[in-house]
A = this chain, B = another copy of it.
Amino acid sequence: DSAKPAALRRLIAPTAAPPSTGETAKKHWYEAVSIRGYMQVRYNRLLETNPDLKCEQCDKSWGDNGGIFFRRIRLIVYGQLHPRIYFYLQPDFASTPGGSTSGHFGQIRDAYFDIGLDANSQFRVRLGQSKIPYGFENMQSSQNRLALDRNDALNSAVVNERDLGAFLYWAPTKIRQRFASLVSDGLKGSGDYGVLALGAFNGQAANRAEQNNGLHVVARLSYPFLIGKQIIEPGLQAYTGRYALSTDQLSRGVKYCPTMNYVDQRAAASFVLYPQPLGFQAEYNVGRGPEFNAATDSIETRRLHGGYATVSYRARVGGQQFYPFVRGQHYEGGKKYERDARSYHVRELEIGLEWQPLKFLELVPMYTISSRRFEDYQTQGNRQRGRLLRLQAQLNF
């Protein structure tokens, strides 16, 4: 029997038979499908001046009672199955189900597939859960970002950066190659979300079921210009929709709109100069959305605005890479995903260094100077200032 394992496999286990038609027979599964991943371990308690300074969306281990912490444990299964078909499946194993006292469960971040509409997939439709094309830093992978967490101003638009929807991306082949090399050459690109992007999505954020009868819509335009040896990428993007608050995020006693549905609209401008060797990146957004108002004890539709600017430098020394960086950020507005659409006023300065002794390992010390007012019905008047040293070790496989 052992002389004909393929025949036996088919014979003994037909329940698991792979897709049928001819093409796969030529390719082994491990040539069509690849696996990679990364994990991030953090510690935020050194040189901490204020244990009440916290940041729910950044990293739950800031401040009092925080310890050693997994920010992300990612396992990625992906493949270009056909010139027109690509898929990407990424669970995160640092996730906690609502109501559970233990964490580190596997939950989907990305699960999507691309269908090329032309032979070169210059036009692609993407179906499933994937990043919303809103904000350069939102789309840039955490594996590549310099600052440990995304900026509050644009990241408050889409928690976990993703949602379930259908998206159309367009970019000419030459620009698709440029998007690809901006990542593979270590320039910290965003990946290819097209020159032009259009999409419709549920609007309740990743891994949350739709809660109303209207989809959000988003559009984005971004182009990486080659100017001499430098590459700059300006971009514009906007989305609109209605966000439905859920009862489990409301404090007892807070007032809110009876439909629990709120306008959710934003527009942003982005500018990137890729680090050859000096990099600069800035984004700003304005919009409207639900926000807790302490003056009225109620959740109201209010204006929001904010952004950030990062200056970085890329140095290569004997096969190792060093990226010192400084980021300043500012945000005033609500965070619709948090309790009572918590109201925020954030000013923060971060000074850090990403060191890659090997491509498999990245070490980041980052010093954060922060002022954060974050108020909901239960924490009115809560404003915290402080400084802390943050440490991260990242393993890439």
Contacts and interface: CB of A to CB of B under 8 A. Distances in A.
A254 interface: no
Copies in the complex: 3
Contact of A98 (B10, B34, B102, B177): B102
A184 interface: yes
Contacts of A182: 14
Interface of A: 1-2, 5, 8-21, 23-24, 28-30, 32-37, 39, 41, 45, 51, 60-61, 64-70, 73, 75-89, 91, 93-108, 111, 113-116, 119-121, 127-129, 141, 164-166, 173, 176-177, 179-186, 189, 191-193, 201-202, 204, 206-213, 215, 244, 246, 248, 319, 358-361, 393, 395-397
Given A33-B397, A98-B102, 6 more contacts: A13-B86, A15-B183, A19-B359, A75-B89, A93-B108, A97-B105
A16 B34 CA distance: 10
Given A67-B215, A111-B73, A192-B14, A106 B106 contact: yes
A386 to B, nearest CB: 15
Interface centre among A11, A12, A182, A244 (most CB of B within 10 A): A12
A202 B108 contact: no
A65 B212 contact: yes
Given A21-B186, A80-B12, A360-B81, A397 B39 contact: no
